[in-house]
């Protein structure tokens, strides 16, 4: 295995991640609010850096409908919904997501069109439906209805219009502060905690599968349960799928997975939010997987100079080869980085300084 860590810069020039994004993630052309940049901050969106409370722990808006138990109906979706086929919200290996409106209520929703011709493909989609039927939480996207035809199954989902968390990481024109990362990761942990409480493993956590509710706040919802599994610990689950950069070592080794398999992915996401770097990304998938198995990573990059020790400790308790030693979601929520109000106040002060610097730079132009 490759023992040397390949720590690769993420922003847009990196074709590998750009290609992954285009294939698997919602497409959005509006500029994100935040990103990492070592150069002076651009001030076109100076209002996006107006100080916010030390830690906003309020949940995102709930779906505009009560939680539903859904089964795929053999009806034509066009009888009940108007789908805007020209407006593509996202796309991936499964198909595309389009904006739609329910004819009877006028409710705006999202139609996820999944190619499913064979019985095996249809069963995979029905597993996704079953998983979502078990998940009722503000940080998890909600399922409204499902329709089955000969060649596809369409999931009608809660509409979330704020763009991907991925966009906020890779855009170089904006500054993502550590306190923003705290707010994002705390919500992801809360969503994961609920999933694990319901014995669901997501198994594909990554920034492309986390949507921002809107562009004015840091509220998020976890999406895409296409690879999720209902977890029965006594049955010893193995999986051989996922996105290379975020795979836990036990997945690569085809060993048993558990709740803490998702927590490894959370560690990678946290590292990326704080630095704009992927800790294990290699020149190709094989090198990436070898880097993960070697588990050699560090905080030596310039991007971590101002990162708190608590944040580093948080990551260090997740990116551990032995899954039984990793923090679970509940323990992660109790970690000082996510729970210490005194730390959050210090991070909030950094935001204030950033705003003042931004204003000074604007006046100096």
Average pLDDT value for residue range 286-292: 95
Region class of 236: left (phi > 0), else alpha (psi between -120 and 50), else beta: left
User: What structural domains and CATH numbers belong to the chain?
Assistant: 77-158 (3.30.200.20), 163-351 (1.10.510.10)
**35 pLDDT above the threshold of 60:** no
Percent of the chain's residues with pLDDT above 70: 81
Q: What integer pLDDT is reported at residue 312 of this predicted model?
A: 98
pLDDT at residue 68 greater than cutoff 70: yes
pLDDT one-digit tens code per residue, 162-180: 989 888 877 766 678 999 9
Please provide the distance, in angstroms rounded to a whole number, between the alpha carbons at the two ends of the chain: 51
Span 52-74, mean pLDDT?
Answer: 87
Check the annotation: does 175 bind a ligand: no
> Residue 95 class from Cβ within 10 Å (0-12 exposed, 13-18 middle, 19+ buried)?
middle
Average pLDDT over every residue of 320-335: 98
pTM value is 0.84
| Spatial CB neighbours of 99, under 8 Å, sequence gap ≥ 6 | 83, 84, 87, 89, 108, 109, 110, 111, 159
Residue 4 reports pLDDT greater than 80: no
pLDDT at 8 over 90: no
Q: How confident is the model at residue 18 (pLDDT cuts 50, 70, 90)?
A: very low
Q: How confident is the model at residue 352 (pLDDT cuts 50, 70, 90)?
A: low
Q: Which residue would you say has higher pLDDT here, 141 or 57?
A: 141
Predicted local confidence at residue 357, as pLDDT: 66
- Give the pLDDT mean for 337-358: 83
Rounded CA-CA distance 284/135 in Å is 35
pLDDT at 118 over 90: yes
Give the pLDDT band of residue 41 (cuts 50, 70, 90): very low
State the sign of the Cα–Cα–Cα–Cα dihedral 85, 28, 206, 145. negative
Q: Is the pLDDT of residue 279 over 60?
A: yes
Annotated catalytic residues are: 204
């Amino acid at each position: 295995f490759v023992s040397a860590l390949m720590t690769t810069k993420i922003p847009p020039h990196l074709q590998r991640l750009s290609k992954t994004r285009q294939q698997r993630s919602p497409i959005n052309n509006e500029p994100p609010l935040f990103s990492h940049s070592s150069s002076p901050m651009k001030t076109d969106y100076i209002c996006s850096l107006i100080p916010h409370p030390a830690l906003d722990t309020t949940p995102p808006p709930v779906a505009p409908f009560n939680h539903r138990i859904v089964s795929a109906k053999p009806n034509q979706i066009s009888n009940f919904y108007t789908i805007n086929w020209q407006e593509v919200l996202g796309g991936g290996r499964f198909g595309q997501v389009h904006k739609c409106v329910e004819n009877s209520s006028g409710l705006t929703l999202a139609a996820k069109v999944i190619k499913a011709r064979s019985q095996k493909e249809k069963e995979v989609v029905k597993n996704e439906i079953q998983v979502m039927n078990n998940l009722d939480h503000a940080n998890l996207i909600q399922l409204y209805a499902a329709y089955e035809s000969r060649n596809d199954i369409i999931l009608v989902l809660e509409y979330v219009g704020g763009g991907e968390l991925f966009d906020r990481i890779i855009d170089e024109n904006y500054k993502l502060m550590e306190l923003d990362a705290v707010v994002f990761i705390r919500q992801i942990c809360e969503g994961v905690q609920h999933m694990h409480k319901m014995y669901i493993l997501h198994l594909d956590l990554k920034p492309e599968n986390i949507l921002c509710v809107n562009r004015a706040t840091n509220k998020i919802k976890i999406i895409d349960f296409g690879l999720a599994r209902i977890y029965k610990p006594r049955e010893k689950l193995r999986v051989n799928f996922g996105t290379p950069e975020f795979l836990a070592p036990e997945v690569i080794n085809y060993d048993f997975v558990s709740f803490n398999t998702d927590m490894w992915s959370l560690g990678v996401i946290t590292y990326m939010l704080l630095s704009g770097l992927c800790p294990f990304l290699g020149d190709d998938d094989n090198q990436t997987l070898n880097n993960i198995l070697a588990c050699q990573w560090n905080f030596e990059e310039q991007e971590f100079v101002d990162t708190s020790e608590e944040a580093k400790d948080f990551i260090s308790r997740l990116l551990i080869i032995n899954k039984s030693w990793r923090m679970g979601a509940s323990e992660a929520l109790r970690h000082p980085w996510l729970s210490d109000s005194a730390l959050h106040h210090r991070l909030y002060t950094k935001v204030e300084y950033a705003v003042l610097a931004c204003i000074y730079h604007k006046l100096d132009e």
